[in-house]
Amino acid sequence: MGIRQTPTRREFVKVASAAVAAPYVITSAALGNAERAPASERIVMGGIGIGNMGRGDQGAFLGRGDVQYVATCDVRRGAREGAKDNANKKYGNSDCKAYVDFREILARDDIDAVHVATPDHWHAIMIIEACRHGKDVYCQKPEMRTLREGPLMIEAARRYSRVVSGGSQRVLEDYRGIVNKCWGGEAGPVKSINVQVGPLSQPCNLPAESKPDDMEWDLWLGPAPWAPYNKQRCDGNFGTSGNSWRSYIDYSGGGMTDWGAHHFGGATYAVDVREMQPTEVEYRNEDGKQYLAFHYENGITIFHNKPGVGNMHVEFAEAGQAEGKPVPAYKGTGGIYGDFIECVKTRERPFRDIELAVNTMVVPLTGTVAYSLERSLKWDRASQQFVGDEEANRMLDRARREPWQI
Amino acid sequence: MLDKAFDELKKYDWGVDPKVLKPIDEAAVASHGNAAERGKLEEQLAAVLASDAPRAAKDYVCRKLMRIGTAACVPALAALVADKELSHMARYALERIPAGEAATALRDAMGKVGGELKIGVIASLGARGDRESIVLLAKELGASDPAVSRAAALALGAIPGGVSAAALEKFKVQDGEPTVAATDAKLACAEGLLATGKKSEALAVYKGLAGEGQPKHVRLAATRGMLACAGK
């Protein structure tokens, strides 16, 4: 277990030590069996933001014998209570508790790790706060909403030696064929890859509607600018065309960052620039068709929406040799969730370690700034600044609504 | 087109299609590199802040000034920092406008607001990395409101270095979140000191966080820091 925090502070031990009058019986559930690790070796988890994606994530963790799921949190009563009931039904007890405010989960000493699937504008705050409280984190993609959030999340993870995994299961699972072709070497050196994804998110000015009684609206908005409740503003469906929070700039980068997290993640993995960030975002406008070329220091280019080129199309150099190399993959069993849990146990870096996730998200986020300003930009990774473009640098971040802060 | 958009802006409320303001968006992009055009646009936008335009209109203006605002619009924004409804959006612009006047306006606001609005101002000063606010922030470490104390600690951590570290040493341990924030800020300062070669100062901070009374993840961070100070 290396530097893992000790398992002696598990719930059942607390119960045992507190049981003064009643005889202490070690149950078979606590001792474990072929499918279930002993309680002392389980990773104790809670979930924050437990709607669409969060419910799926909960199911994945709940199905694992090496996880004990003890807390759910959501600003919607139905979501948090439903997820809580889900866990309690699975375990046949009532140990899982439901919370409105994520800070109550982070304050619990018995919880080792959390998964986060709130809207994107909350991700950085929750990841950083979780690290400050000694929790490991699995966070749904896109892991960040602004460029400034990236290095701060990495810093928090490294400062406290936390395992922080981004959550894009598609990076490995959807693009394996392209990855194998690029990493295998037979096709020659990679020159470029194209990502087709969109749209950008838009300003939201929807009218006020009456708020459901079971929703904490101010907490849903959190660090985002205040706005009146409207169902379409906060709906968690996967659309990006106006009927969900994924459509709007205060909460999401739109398809560019939402599906973009998968596609750009797959592209950076395929052409092996996951450890890098682009040095230049070239804005092109050909006959009214806007598209981008992200240039990397090793000469590779990632295009965004290049006209006439399909999604994940790879261009190989006409000459030159490329040596095959082993393809990195998940650790443990159970896909990206198993990868995270395995790394929580071993303290290794997960497949979508937060630094790799940030490197990926820098692509669509710098691209969004370039589209917004309609000009090319140079990006300096060391300073995390656009070079010589003061207006672009203003867009690295945005003030958070009080009392939220990173 | 632009004049019509400004007419629309004066009555822009929740529910109005944002497309009516598109000419202003386009003018903001097109005026890049043209100080005179930008200045005129900035002036027109700032004027809306002092008017009785709806909240949604002022929200929009602050977003635009965040992109193109200069020292010229700072007074109009500063006037809103104490306004409970508009304080955040005023900071939305002030936090990102590079002009020193914006930082000065935020520092000045520290004495005029309390509670959550003060937390917002503190957070903006931290996000700006405003070294001139360190003394002000240090005073707030001792605030009676734990949330203000916490915010001040985090802001000092965002301006890492010896001065912030010295201020944080005076932080009195409280239950819960202010201490979590102060600990994080101290670690950020120690990292800053180490990165600038001030190993003995960094080591002193780390040693103070390595004791048995600290949570394990903090002791781990401090121990790793001490090893780094020793060059290991």
Instruction: Report how far residue A166's alpha carbon sits from residue B214's, in angstroms, rounded to the nearest whole number.
Output: 28
- Listed by start position, the domains of chain A span 7-167, 171-200+255-394
> Is A165:A137 a contact under the CB 8 Å cutoff?
yes
| pLDDT tens profile A322-346 | 899 999 999 999 999 999 999 999 9
Instruction: Report how far residue B59's alpha carbon sits from residue B49's, in angstroms, rounded to the nearest whole number.
Output: 9
Cis-peptide into A38, omega within 30 deg: no
Biggest CA pair distance of chain A? 81
Size of interface A-B (CB pairs under 8 A): 119
Q: Does B209 touch chain A (CB under 8 A)?
A: no
What integer pLDDT is reported at residue A16 of this predicted model?
A: 34
Chain A residues whose beta carbon lies within 8 Å of the beta carbon of residue B18: 202-205
pLDDT tier at B171 (50, 70, 90 boundaries)? Answer: confident
Sign of CA dihedral B125, B129, B135, B137: positive
What integer pLDDT is reported at residue A9 of this predicted model?
A: 32
Q: Is the pLDDT of residue A4 over 60?
A: no
Q: Give the H/E segment covering residue B181.
A: helix B177-195
**CATH code for the structural domain at B111-232:** 1.25.40
The string of DSSP letters for A208-240 reads P-PPPTTB-HHHHHTTSPP----HHHH--SS--
Instruction: Report how far residue A395's alpha carbon sits from residue A385's, in angstroms, rounded to the nearest whole number.
Output: 10
pLDDT tier at A406 (50, 70, 90 boundaries)? Answer: very high
Half-sphere exposure for B117 (CA within 13 Å, toward CB): 19
CATH for A171-200+255-394 (2.60.40, 3.40.190, 3.30.360, 2.40.50): 3.30.360
> Is A101:A219 a contact under the CB 8 Å cutoff?
yes
What is the average pLDDT score of chain A? Answer: 92
Instruction: For residue A372, give the 3-state DSSP assignment.
Output: helix
Instruction: Report how far residue A68's alpha carbon sits from residue B161's, in angstroms, rounded to the nearest whole number.
Output: 41
Instruction: Report how far residue A223's alpha carbon sits from residue A406's, in angstroms, rounded to the nearest whole number.
Output: 10
CA-based end-to-end distance of chain A: 30
Average pLDDT over residues B199-214: 95
What integer pLDDT is reported at residue B176 of this predicted model?
A: 83
Average pLDDT over residues B79-85: 98
Q: Is the pLDDT of residue B196 over 90?
A: yes
| B106 secondary structure, DSSP code | H
| pLDDT tens profile A146-179 | 999 999 999 999 999 999 999 998 888 899 999 9
pLDDT tier at A30 (50, 70, 90 boundaries)? Answer: confident
pLDDT tier at A29 (50, 70, 90 boundaries)? Answer: low
| pLDDT tens profile A120-145 | 999 999 999 999 999 999 999 999 99
Q: To the nearest whole percent, how much of chain A has pLDDT over 70?
A: 93
Residue of B105 and A319 predicted with greater confidence: B105
Which residue from A254, A313, A302 is spatially nearest to A280, judged by alpha carbons?
A302
Average pLDDT over residues A30-50: 89
Interface predicted TM-score (ipTM) of this complex, two decimals: 0.97
Average pLDDT over residues A248-271: 97
Query: Is B123 in Cβ contact with A373 (below 8 Å)?
Result: no
Quick one: A7-167 is in which CATH superfamily?
A: NAD(P)-binding Rossmann-like Domain (3.40.50.720)
Instruction: Report how far residue A231's alpha carbon sits from residue A209's, in angstroms, rounded to the nearest whole number.
Output: 7
Alpha helices in B31-176 (DSSP H): 35-49, 55-68, 74-78, 87-94, 100-109, 115-128, 134-140, 146-157, 162-169
> Is A358:A150 a contact under the CB 8 Å cutoff?
yes
Chain A residues touching chain B at CB-CB below 8 Å: 3, 5-6, 103, 107, 132-134, 148, 155-156, 159-162, 202-208, 225-228, 372-375, 390-391, 393-395, 397-406
What integer pLDDT is reported at residue A169 of this predicted model?
A: 85
Q: Is the pLDDT of residue A14 over 70?
A: no
| pLDDT tens profile A167-226 | 998 888 899 999 999 999 989 999 999 999 999 999 999 999 999 999 999 999 999 999
> Is B128:B157 a contact under the CB 8 Å cutoff?
no
Q: Is the pLDDT of residue A43 over 60?
A: yes
Query: Is B95 in Cβ contact with A405 (below 8 Å)?
Result: no
Query: Is A133 in Cβ contact with B180 (below 8 Å)?
Result: yes
The CA distance from B119 to the nearest CA of chain A, in Å, is: 6
Spatial neighbors of A287 by CB under 8 A, at least 6 apart, are: none
Q: Find the Cα–Cα–Cα–Cα dihedral A138, A141, A146, A149, rounded to 10°.
A: 20
pLDDT tier at B175 (50, 70, 90 boundaries)? Answer: confident
- Listed by start position, the domains of chain B span 1-109, 111-232
> Is A83:A117 a contact under the CB 8 Å cutoff?
no
pLDDT tier at A26 (50, 70, 90 boundaries)? Answer: low
Average pLDDT over residues A268-282: 97
Average pLDDT over residues B63-70: 98
